[in-house]
Amino acid sequence: MEQYYAEAVINGWSVDRHQEEAVVDLFAQNIYRAGKEFLSNPMQTPFVPSWNRVISAYPISRNNSGPPSSRTTVETRVRQRPRKNLPRV
């Protein structure tokens, strides 16, 4: 966290250190809770969504105007995603 903050200051970016620390704490709590849940029943099958569920939640099509084709693969959808307007170097 300290190095991240120092780099942000050097680059002239504003950083809310309190919010960043709160997010890190929340992440750590969730990892800890997931670990405890797994250790309480290690043979239970975890819920891992399929790619179909992920894609239906975040549809990406060639022109971003409708649902993706069922024949389009995840890899091509990711490659076809519109890029944000980033400054060119």
In a domain, 51, yes or no: yes
pLDDT tens digit string along 39-70? 998 888 777 778 888 778 776 654 555 555 54
Q: How large is the average pLDDT for residues 3-22?
A: 89
Between these two residues, 28 and 42, which has the higher pLDDT value? Answer: 28
- The DSSP result for the chain, as a single string, is -HHHHHHHHHTT----HHHHHHHHHHHHHHHHHHHHHHHH-TTSPP----HHHHHHHS---SSSSSPPPTTS-HHHHHHHSPPP-PPP-
Most confident of 27-31, 46-50, 58-62, 76-80: 27-31
CA–CA gap between residue 80 and residue 62 (Å, rounded) = 6
The model carries a pTM of 0.46
In a domain, 4, yes or no: no
For residue 71, what pLDDT is reported? 47
Domain hosting residue 40, numbered range = 18-80
In a domain, 7, yes or no: no
